[in-house]
Structure 1
């Protein structure tokens, strides 16, 4: 029967797994990571708080997509809290932690990152449902959206607690990983592969959305004038989708690959030298999400700017927002979907007649 080490401190496990980076991570490298981390966390707290406040304040955002957007902002806000906790429990301090405190440190990170990832997947599915049905907003009721949000956090909390619940190496030191000295290597393989699969599903969903919108736009181009087509072109949608996918690939894939290599016990991959920077890169995704999903939306940006400037002149901004199409993924697809629906009906019924009249004129 294997001996269990629940009462040991982390220095015991670091020594058993030959992990010495906790001693080496001092001086300029630690200061640099802490400075970057502090800046990122401050930006995460401010930007995501503004996103949540904007959704609550502006009644134009009281729809399923924006509720999910606010939940994504909450998940990213939580990621900032998790990283602040990490900054005060890293470096040489890591070896002084108890097993339970180390589980809490990693559990907060796993919960926040999983919440962001699952929320992004739900948003992708919601946008897919809306566009395929050519509706401005999905048919999700507030109760269903609330259920989805609760489910997202339930999944995230469960995934963050799985190692604490038993999938660890406290009773089998030989199975311990190098990056996470009390995590089982099999769990790291499971967690990284699961997240990569979710990422692949998101890619497929967004590619399907883009191909559908592009196909419908090409059909409509023969029934509408060039100027209207240019105004309603889904180029901005494509840019938003590609920006989202690019940011996700850059920020998440390196860290997931490193975890997978550690789970596969790759001892010659040099993963210890890059782990802290890939952690910052994953955190950067929470910084970029408000930019990608919110600041490209004129109405969202206008609402947040009014809150920052404490301006009471909402009417001018609302009139301005109604003239400028939203460019965030949710708003762009909604506008495009409505435009596609209306134009197909008009083009099918009287498209050729209208073109004939224009030719005669």
Structure 2
């Protein structure tokens, strides 16, 4: 394909798109989005059809897969808008605002579902010591519903008026027509709370396992189950932290740069918007690997913990935490 420049005529700008650049950025986004949509559809169908998987944790897995499905679908829509009208992704449009709002809802729902899963896994392990903390189906549905309610409330704020259509001064340079203060509002608090929650839950799980191992050793029972469980939880935690950080760090840094840098639009260059497309691709990759990591790794935690012998009334008996 011959290179032909597509100039942006809204204002005097240094940003120009070539057809080759637009296709090289847009086509991979579309492909990754389609793969992610297919994978998350399979996860949802598998959890709906498998009766033995209708446990509280799988309700949260299904909600997470639904969030990732919506994220991939909205990203697919944004990629199509980019391929057809790349200049609109620089100057903003009403169609792009709707697509960004749906993407914000899906990302926030994903974040809240990740926190719900981490808390459920912590309570599943803590169930060995405090049976009253066992999670019921109703509580799992409530957690999933609350995640979607909060995500819908915060994500739809641009549609309810918190947008910068026609307000260039307060608009984000990378994600027009969203306002930069709105991006800061939904990005910084949610990132801090998410990492703090995931860190607390998985570190707490390891602490509980160490405590239980010490009690069992003191009672004269020698078992490597807790050592294996600690290694499993630590490995899973590292995978989750790295995956989340790698996927969302580019978007987080782009929002911070957007808030700090106040360069006029005509001074921005094409590499800034290439990085913006890269952040969208990383978020989609996160939606693609979420079902694999959470359905394969975390469900094994409950099975591992279920084989532990928890001391109660100076006796050691079996607890089935995987039935939480």
TM range, smaller chain: 0.7 to 0.9
Equivalent pair of 1:63/1:137 in contact (CA under 8 Å): no
Whether the 8 Å contact between 2:57 and 2:120 is mirrored in structure 1 is yes
Rounded Cα–Cα distance in structure 1 between residues aligned with 2:144 and 2:226: 37
More helix, by proportion: 1
Superposed displacement of residue 102, structure 1: 1.7
Size of the alignment, in residue pairs? 300
Aligned pairs for 1:1-361 (under 5 A) are 15=11, 21=15, 23-24=16-17, 26-91=18-83, 93-95=85-87, 99-134=93-128, 139-170=134-165, 172-201=167-196, 202-221=198-217, 223-226=220-223, 232-265=228-261, 267=263, 271-294=272-295, 296=296, 328-332=297-301, 334-340=302-308, 342-345=309-312, 348-349=314-315
Shift of 1:204: 2.5
**TM-score, scaled relative to structure 2:** 0.80
The Cα shift of 1:107 comes to 1.1
Q: Using the TM superposition, give the Cα deviation of residue 75 of structure 1 relative to its aligned residue in structure 2, in angstroms.
A: 0.9
CA contact (8 A) 2:75 2:280 kept: no
SS in 1 for 2:157: helix
Distance (Å, rounded) in 2 between the aligned partners of 1:116 and 1:238: 22
Distance in 1 between the 2:47 and 2:131 partners?
A: 17
Return the index of the structure with the highest Cα Rg. 1
Structure 1 164/136 Cα, relative in aligned 2: closer, same or farther at 3 Å?
A: same
CA contact (8 A) 2:164 2:179 kept: yes
User: Contact 2:60/2:117 (CA < 8 Å) preserved in 1?
Assistant: yes
* Separation in 2, partners of 1:199, 1:63: 24
State the match for 2:3 in structure 1.
none
Shift in CA distance, 109/150, structure 1 to aligned 2, threshold 3 Å: same
* SS of equivalent to 2:172: coil
Aligned Cα root-mean-square deviation (Å): 3.1
User: Relative to structure 2, which stretch is displaced further, 164-173 or 262-271?
Assistant: 262-271
Alpha-carbon distance in structure 1 between the residues aligned to 2:132 and 2:304: 11
Structure 1 or 2: more strand by fraction: 2
> Structure 1 residue 180: deviation in Å?
1.9
Distance 1:93 1:185 in 2: 22
User: Counterpart of 1:45 in 2: which secondary structure?
Assistant: helix
Which SS does the other structure have where 1:48 is aligned? Answer: helix
Alignment partners' CA distance in 1, 2:173 and 2:46 = 43
Structure 1 unpaired stretches of 5+? 1-10, 297-327, 352-361
Contact 1:64 1:137 in 2 (8 A): no
Separation (CA, whole Å) in 1 of partners of 2:64 and 2:188: 22
Q: Aligned to 2:178, what secondary structure does the other structure show?
A: coil
Give the superposition deviation at 1:343. 4.0
